[in-house]
Structure 1
Amino acid sequence: MSSFPCSYLGAPISPGRVSYRDFEPLITKIRKKMDGWKGALLSAERKLILVRRVLSSMPIHLMMVIAVLEKVIHQPNVLLSNFLCGQGEFGPKKHWIAWKKIGRPTGEGGIGV
């Protein structure tokens, strides 16, 4: 028998309210995936495919099972936008389009992330 907080099928379970700290494994998992891909070596099209197919699907199960905090939704979006725009010498490059617009379906002018 395990103690709380614990994880069941990837979803954090605790006796009270689920905190941001309980979602750290998800954020870490997304970071590890991106670090392994060496984003600087990928073209923009390949980055987009990875974000659409792999990274954006990782938190879906969790969001269907638990009421996720807004802060938890925001953090993966920051990681995904930094991965798409690339890293500069001093950190993430300038984002020329707002993430809300990028996240729209392609029919509405976004890129479908």
Structure 2
Amino acid sequence: MSGLIPNASKSVVFFGNVPSATQDFSIATSGFNRGVLPVIYLGLPLVSGKLSLRDCQPLLLKISSKMETWGNKYISQAGRAQLIRSVIYGLQGHWSDCLFLPKNILKKIQSIMAKFLWKGTQQGPCFYKVAWKHCCLKKTEGGLGFKELLGWNQCVLQWQIWRIIRQEEHSLWLIWISKYLLRRRAFWTMQVPDKCSWGLRKILNARASVLQRVTYRVGRNSCFLLWHDPWCLRSPLLNRYGARAIRLWNLRTWRLLVP
């Protein structure tokens, strides 16, 4: 219809619950290759479940290859620390901003960075002069100012919750959350759905920790849910008084309105 012709060598087709005969006919007609999940987009695997070691292998290989290249040159310890801050944390941050990395992957990355910092190469044993958790302290506290990756993961979870409750962005993911996940439900008081992806389950389970850091300011033109949003003492009224209080409130309000 547009007059454009898709490039068969650059196009792939994915099937879900489609008969084999229909798949073979579609491939023969279009000339496309059959795609295999997970899909790599902008260097990231597009998966709906928990990331496995196989999914994160490209990240680990990229970090290791960078350090092997630097290990062939004479770099001081201060230079290695700067490379970790500017390059390695940039690679890991690109993944963490879009995907929630499992703890075993984050510990593996921290182990690679610690070995490179103290030895300069990944080959052979290494003597660690200071524990990595002490290296992640501020410089004023005697550390090296590195970011603790497990804490970074928690920050990313809380940032995603911040995006959901503000509802000021127009990304496709937030629109899907509003139309599908939050349909006739409130974010702070809803139950975790049984059929829920691993990433969304992590976000919903992190709500309790975020409640201690979020403050609703009530004023003119405020927009919030009376019973479900934590506008009073950082806790939803539904959790404090229960659903029975809502029914009693609605009943009394209805009686007051009746002439």
- Equivalent residue, structure 1, for 2:80: 47
> Which residue is 1:104 aligned to?
137
Higher relative contact order by CA 8 Å / sep ≥ 6: 1 or 2?
A: 1
Do structure 1's residue 85 and structure 2's residue 118 form an aligned pair? yes
User: C-alpha root-mean-square deviation of aligned residues, in Å?
Assistant: 2.0
Task: Provide the rounded CA distance (Å) in 2 between the counterparts of 1:112 and 1:4.
Answer: 38
Residue in structure 2 matching 1:62, options 70, 73, 95: 95
CA deviations over 1:53-85 (Å, ceiling 9, x no partner): 111221101111111100111111111100011
Q: Does the aligned pair in 2 maintain the 1:86–1:93 contact within 8 Å?
A: yes
Structure 2 gaps, min length 5? 1-11, 13-34, 147-259
TM-score w.r.t. the length of structure 1 is 0.86
For 2:49 and 2:78, the matched residues in 1 are separated by 43
Runs of 4+ in 1 over 4 A off after TM superposition: none
1:4 aligns with 2:37: yes
Aligned-pair CA distance for 1:8 = 1.4
8 Å CA contact 2:38–2:45 kept in 1: the answer is yes
Q: Which range moves more in the overlay, 22-31 or 55-64?
A: 55-64
Listed as ranges, the gaps of 5+ residues in structure 1 are: none
The equivalent position to 2:69 in structure 1, one of 36, 52, 58, is 36
Does structure 1 residue 25 correspond to structure 2 residue 58?
A: yes
Q: Distance in 2 between matches of 1:40 and 1:77?
A: 22
Contact 2:71/2:120 (8 A) holds in 1: no
Aligned residue pairs, count: 112
Residue deviations 1:34-54 (CA, integer Å, cap 9, x gap): 111126721111111111111
- Letter of the 2:111 counterpart: V
On the 8 A contact 1:48/1:84 being kept in 2, the answer is yes
Structure number having the greater helix percentage: 1
* Bigger share in strand: 1
Residue identity over aligned pairs, in percent, reads: 29
* Deviation at residue 107 of structure 1 after TM alignment: 2.8
Q: 1:100 to 1:16 in 2, by over 3 A?
A: same
